Amino acid sequence: MSLIWTGSLSHPYRIGGNVGLYDTTLRDGEQTVGVVLDPEQKLEIAALLDAIGVDRIEAGFPRVSPDDWEAVELVAGAGLRAEVWGFSRAVAADLEALVELGVRHAVIESPISDAKLGAIGVSRDVMVERITNAMTFAAEHGIHAAFFGVDSTRADLDFFRYVYEAAVEAGAREVVVVDTLGVASPEAVRDLVGRTIKWLDGTPVHFHGHNDFGLATANAVAAVAAGATWVHGTINGMGERAGNANLGEVALTLRALYGVESNLELSRIREISTRVQELSGYALEPWKPVTGETLFRRESGAVASQFHDPPSIEPYSSELVGAERGLVLGKKSGIDSIRIKAEELGLDVPDERRAELLAQVKALGARKHGLVTDDEFRELVNGSG
């Protein structure tokens, strides 16, 4: 039985195939304001990511701090199934740290937009030299490197092509198109990723997007439609400013709407979402796609009348993402809500009492400015409310 009930409207736009998922929760995700993860916590998250099928895990940027160094060391030595990647600037000392730690895969970043280069006072020529030197160093020391052009989506297009081609010629094995400030539209992402694939014929292309305009998932889809091999993201979409692409949302959207599979075990995504929230000290909106607390809870009376038929009120099954369905009572409840909740709790409520109980439930929900609990409903049924 299918667990996806999206209808056929999107079928003509299906992409098909597979995509690899690259998680950067431990590095870019930790850049969320106020979040600090210690090495053991990062190791725990890495193990969870590995268990749910993430293909590549970015363990961190070892030269940021001793804790980051230790975290990369722990994750790299944990014997995970996933490929463990490090993160480095185009700086010799950063790369030497990865060699010392035995990390064999790394993203190597450098800013390439004129805005970024101007802010740090470095010319295009000097930056290209740094990039090519770093890629040569990585290749000579057995590091499988992906060039990560910071602020790709605001770079001059001719310079973008020049620097990416130079990086590959110098030894980069893969490249990342980077929407650092989340400024690209899906159409622009599809165009830029497509051009990059054409220019670097045969070189795998990643997409790394941020969510400043709420387009990170749409942009990830656009990148895959253009031929991107890898999509970057984080658990819960955590990250600087508005965060990164949410890896769970991206995986579900690609599978449900575009027929693109990944190795992510969606039925466990809420498990890791909850644990990362606990370790990071933040909470998500309860209506958040895929992992929101109230995503499969129903209060509306009109919806309750269809509660027995999930495909009529939900686009995909709660089972698909490891969630539980439930009906709650409040100001917006209806007659069917009373019947269903009474049956769920094993309470004997005759048909003729439902309207009276519904009025009491609505009144209590309005007074509380919230939901009526199961215990409160029992009290109303028993006449003690």
User: Looking at the DSSP assignment, which residues form a beta bridge with residue 233?
Assistant: 23
| CA angle, residues 85, 86, 88, in degrees to nearest 5 | 140
How many other β-carbons are positioned within 10 Å of the β-carbon of residue 74? 17
Query: Which tens digits make up the pLDDT trace of 243-286?
Result: 999 999 999 999 999 999 999 999 999 999 999 999 999 999 99
Residue with tokens 């796609």: 289
Lookup: tokens for 45: 């998250």
Query: Which tens digits make up the pLDDT trace of 49-78?
Result: 999 999 999 999 999 999 999 999 999 999
- Judge whether residue 1 has pLDDT over 90: no
How many other β-carbons are positioned within 10 Å of the β-carbon of residue 229? 17
Query: Which tens digits make up the pLDDT trace of 123-137?
Result: 999 999 999 999 999
Q: What pLDDT was estimated at residue 161?
A: 98
Q: What pLDDT was estimated at residue 385?
A: 55
R_g of the chain computed on alpha carbons: 25
Query: Which tens digits make up the pLDDT trace of 219-253?
Result: 999 999 999 999 999 999 999 999 999 999 999 99
Q: What is the distance of C-alpha 110 from the center of its chain?
A: 23
Greatest extent of the chain over all pairs of C-alpha atoms, in Å: 82
Q: How many residues does the chain have?
A: 385
Across the range 292-316, mean pLDDT stands at 93
| CA angle, residues 141, 47, 231, in degrees to nearest 5 | 65
Query: Which tens digits make up the pLDDT trace of 156-203?
Result: 999 999 999 999 999 999 999 999 999 999 999 999 999 999 999 999
Distance CA 243, CA 181 (A): 10
- Can you list the domains of the chain with their CATH numbers? 17-280 (3.20.20.70), 297-381 (no CATH)
Q: What pLDDT was estimated at residue 383?
A: 83
Mean of all residue pLDDT scores within the chain: 96
> Percent of the chain, pLDDT > 90?
97
Q: What pLDDT was estimated at residue 384?
A: 65
Helices (H), 298-353: 301-304, 335-345
Q: What pLDDT was estimated at residue 156?
A: 98
Across the range 337-341, mean pLDDT stands at 93
Helix (H) or strand (E) holding 179: strand 174-179
CA-wise closest residue to 172 among 127, 129, 199, 204: 204
Query: Which tens digits make up the pLDDT trace of 76-109?
Result: 999 999 999 999 999 999 999 999 999 999 999 9
Q: What is the pTM of this model?
A: 0.94
Phi, psi of 18 (to 5 degrees): -135, 160
Phi, psi of 344 (to 5 degrees): -60, -40
Distance CA 190, CA 221 (A): 9
Residue with tokens 């056929």: 8
CA-wise closest residue to 63 among 27, 37, 31, 35: 27
CA-wise closest residue to 250 among 104, 60, 54, 108: 54
